[in-house]
Amino acid sequence: MTLVHSLFKQNRSWIFGYAFGTSLYLFFLAAIFPSIKETGLIEGKLESLPPELLDVFKIDPSLAMDNVVNLLAGNYYGLIFYVLAILFALTFASRLMAKPVDSGEVMLYMAAPISRGAYVSASLIVLLLATVLFVVLNGLSLTLADVMFDLGIDYGLMWTLQLNAGLLLLVLGAIAFVIASLFDDSSRSYMVTGGLFALFLIANIFSGFSETFSWLERLSVFSLFDANAQLQGDVPTVSFLVLIGLLALSVVACYARFTRKDLSI
């Protein structure tokens, strides 16, 4: 517990930054939704945009903007969330693995009578706490907006989206952690992780352009969080199972790698 407490304390600024920053964004978007709905400007704007651009931002023009969650599917739970998730995962892996190992700061913990496995466990618990704070505060901010502005949010759908988002954050964080533990040089680990996640993103974007590229979707972890499909009634059971499987594999890889790694600190 001492280790988790210490690591969380050292990392709380970015953890709260992501959680409160995104929650405020969601709250304000939800708060202005009634006036957007009244003007009907969104539908008009969507009709005027090229379909490729809508694909990039994962906006389904067929969805009526009569519900705030539909609006959020295009303005948050698409490209914006994917980029945020990448930054979140990179920050986590950088602060708890790449930078401490590169600079030698991790020696504060490695000199103590704790195992490498305990350090990995504590880091993953911090990832879990950061993710829970992120998605729960996001959900609570929408709930508060609903209470204040009577938005008629479908809570079942909203919390399913939050759970899906949380699983994606955990998987990306764990993958970034494994990659960071492969290198002693933090800049190289940022480069490799950033490159891999950018490839996931590009594959996801291109998969929506035409049927020819639809197979690319299978290469991207981001295709496991499709808010539009859920809005149209899809139950993301398969996505959840695949994400849980990927998470389990990544966690095993985290332990396997870091407990055998030579540390030149």
Partner 1 sequence: MIQIDRLTKRFDAVHGIFDVTLRVEPGTVFGFIGPNGAGKSTTIRHLMGLLHADVGQARVMGHDCWRESERVKASVGYLPGEINYPQDMTGEEIIRLTSRLHRTSQEREHRLRTIFPFDTSLKVRKMSKGMKQKLGIVTCFMKDAPVYVLDEPTSGLDPLMQERLIEWVLAEKAAGKAILMSSHHFPEMEKTCDRAALIRDGRIIIEADMDELKRRSVKVYQIKLTSEAEAQALAEKVGTRDGCIVTVPVSTSDELNALIATLTRFEVESLTSGADELEHMFMQYYGEATS
Q: Which residues bind partner 1 (CB under 8 A)?
A: 2-3, 6, 10, 100, 103-105, 107-116, 260, 262-265
Contact 72, 146 (CB under 8 A): no
Q: For residues 8 and 25, which CB has a smaller minimum distance to partner 1 in the complex?
A: 8
113: DSSP letter: S
CA angle 41, 47, 53 (to 5 degrees): 110
3-state helix vs strand vs coil in the chain, percent to 5: 80, 0, 20
Min dist. Cβ of residue 262 to partner 1 (A): 5
Q: For residues 2 and 210, which CB has a smaller minimum distance to partner 1 in the complex?
A: 2
Min dist. Cβ of residue 187 to partner 1 (A): 17
Residues constituting the chain = 265
Min dist. Cβ of residue 145 to partner 1 (A): 34
Contact 157, 230 (CB under 8 A): yes
Q: For residues 59 and 93, which CB has a smaller minimum distance to partner 1 in the complex?
A: 93
- In whole angstroms, how large is the CA radius of gyration of the chain? 20
Min dist. Cβ of residue 131 to partner 1 (A): 22
Q: For residues 43 and 184, which CB has a smaller minimum distance to partner 1 in the complex?
A: 184
Min dist. Cβ of residue 100 to partner 1 (A): 8
Q: For residues 17 and 245, which CB has a smaller minimum distance to partner 1 in the complex?
A: 17
The DSSP code sequence of 46-80 is HHHS-HHHHHHTT--TTS-S-SHHHHHHHHTTTHH
| Side-chain half-sphere CA neighbours of 75 within 13 A | 19
